[in-house]
Structure 1
């Protein structure tokens, strides 16, 4: 398997993943961590189709991200390149491809009901599913990071790019945070990963 992908995904998923990649003639490359994405799919100038995945993901998140990107390729192949990247065609394809993997041989029991719920209507990123993102995080190696929603209101935190914010009030789906340097208010995804500077 390309780049020894079996080192990055659950053992029970290796054969199924290999079958998908062989069928679609996809090239997969494992990359160093990118802060703004877990993975991506693109059609190269030479006509090949390439998927890249961050190598720092835990096996379960890596597998979900890999199938997410394979779904982009298959959706474009089946429905044409004018479809929305995360529209209904992609959702249908992602659901179809992911369903065989949602079983106790591959995922821990505590993740299965969360995955079943998420894949009723998969989002552009599993990070926007608060319950699933938090559950998946439990399988990451310790890194001292937190999600914004986990820390108390008034906490001071830092982003990967060094910008420092103070957590404010909760809106319907986002959290208001004030940038310390400028006083500007920004709306954060509750699952944005941050480094806590100090509690309230």
Structure 2
């Protein structure tokens, strides 16, 4: 494992991660922040496999994201490339790979029950699990952010790219928000970071 990667994950997790990444055909790269994803996995035409993870993640989210992507690699290796990216094979593999990490040496004690519940049926992204997402954000360097679920209906806000919206009703899990410029309705996850105008 690259020395640079060790500085992004909790120290007690390093030996297990080293073992998981001990594949000649697997490369792991740390990338600048991408707003649409925390990480990704790709199989290249030359047969190599590449995992990328965003550099701005706190150590706990970085570790979860890294193992999420390693689970893609392992699931495709074991079950073939025809499986669904976040299907039952990937879920089983992700659960199995995360198990050694879910302990108080790696994660803070207050995160353990939330992680245990999440990994009963892991989602395609940890952001879909609002409770886990908000719990993990407490460990971000800049944790004084405002989230869409915190502001009252009718609030006007902007997102990272400057687009402005007005918060509307909550559907089952997401909020309907109207873009000020176009009048189009978009659905937002509750934990989207916003700036109130």
Normalised to the residue count of structure 1, the TM-score between the two structures is 0.94
Q: Distance in 2 between matches of 1:48 and 1:23?
A: 10
* Structure 1 counterpart of 2:50: 50
Cα contact 2:102–2:112 (8 A) shared by 1: yes
Q: Which runs of 5+ in 1 are unaligned?
A: none
* Structure 2 counterpart of 1:179: 179
Q: Which runs of 5+ in 2 are unaligned?
A: none
* Structure 2 counterpart of 1:165: 165
Listed as ranges, the matches of 1:23-172 within 5 Å are 23=23, 25-142=25-142, 145-172=145-172
* Structure 2 counterpart of 1:196: 196
- The Cα RMSD (Å) is 1.3
* Structure 2 counterpart of 1:5: 5
SS in 1 for 2:61: helix
Q: Distance in 2 between matches of 1:195 and 1:99?
A: 37
User: CA shift at 1:144, angstroms?
Assistant: 5.0
Cα contact 1:149–1:190 (8 A) shared by 2: yes
Cα contact 1:144–1:195 (8 A) shared by 2: no
Q: Distance in 1 between matches of 2:118 and 2:103?
A: 14
Q: Distance in 2 between matches of 1:181 and 1:3?
A: 47
Q: How many positions carry a matched residue from both structures? A: 197
Q: Distance in 2 between matches of 1:156 and 1:86?
A: 35
SS in 1 for 2:183: coil
User: CA shift at 1:46, angstroms?
Assistant: 2.2
Cα contact 2:168–2:176 (8 A) shared by 1: yes
Q: Distance in 2 between matches of 1:112 and 1:143?
A: 20
Normalised to the residue count of structure 2, the TM-score between the two structures is 0.95
Q: Distance in 2 between matches of 1:16 and 1:25?
A: 18
User: CA shift at 1:160, angstroms?
Assistant: 1.4
